[in-house]
Structure 1
Amino acid sequence: MALDRALTESGTPTLRALPDQVELLLRRLDVPPRLAAHLRAVHDVAYRLVDLLGRRYPGVRIDREAVIYGAATHDIGKSVRTGELSGPGSAHEEIGYRLLLDHGVTERLARFARTHAEWAGADIAFEDLLVSLADKVWKGKRVPELEQLIVDHLAAASRQEPWEVFMTLDDIVGELAEDADQRLAFQSRHPVTP
């Protein structure tokens, strides 16, 4: 079964398994294998991102569980708006948010489906920015405005100079982006349709 392969294949680089409750939900919804592969890739990057940030900024509070869960479910609305798996569109964002709420996911964790592409709003938390960053970096994309928002938050929370934080974040993002081609190849090995 193609979905099972997308959820369990180790991949190159080796990708972490999704949280059990996320994997169960994806199976219940019978999501397209390409979507499951994408969610695994972004989840893996988010996991590594919060780990690296936690080591470099131990005094900065990060809701690790929320970031990891958010990355693992951020595009779940594409299970309904399947055309957005291979084409542009943002309808999946609100649909995904509602879908998660309908399946008993709390607002704290469901919000990432709605916020992962929008990082300028007043209600955007640091964790939303981290999910957004993981959703860009998994494929090696750099977004200076997004990264600057993260630098600003880390500088204020750690009381370091912004240029120092920028250098550290640049190193982290560069390290995470190194495997982008392999993650893209992993995702593309899985079909868009079940």
Structure 2
Amino acid sequence: MPEYGELLQHPFGLQSKYKRPLYPLARTPEKVGIPFTSGLMTKAENGSAGALVSTAELTREFLEAARYGDLEDVKAMVAQGVRLDSLDEQGRTALHMASANGHLDVVQYLISQGADVNAKNAEDNTPLHYAALNCHIPVLQELIVKGSDAAALNKHDRSPLDEALGRNNLAVVEAINAAAVTQSLSSNAISTIDMGGDDE
């Protein structure tokens, strides 16, 4: 007979396609961004009749799909109702994961679905902190243009710009500054158009 730990770690005998074992019952639903009232089990949409998959398991797979840039899986799980603001044990969202790993297509999709570009993890890092730290220029440009706060401070009083400076990456510093200027000019142009529209 398997020990309790083995049952907890592999309650359905499933393995993640992202090379990490699934632990669907190891954490409370609240810690992975699922409201307790939503229930712990949902029917799988993978074609296996009657298969049950925990929402915690779907959330974990969603975050892993974003981390590894699997846009098709990310879209499928959003269609299944996985919440965009689902969190891992460190408070990271799918947008944090995709940004940290430079997956621009996943970042764009998540933002188009309403993901919070200024979401903070347990250390108050935003997706932009991760994109800057890992030198993913197209991702950080997208985040800033879509409203990410380039001056947001984490718990160590470091902004995304500080993270780039700490790595002495001038290309990232220039990209952050250029994207912030573009975003600011774009916002000002929209405000000017809104204010000037009464001349008819």
TM over 0.5: no
TM-score normalised per structure 1: 0.29
Larger radius of gyration: 2
TM-score norm. by structure 2 comes to 0.29
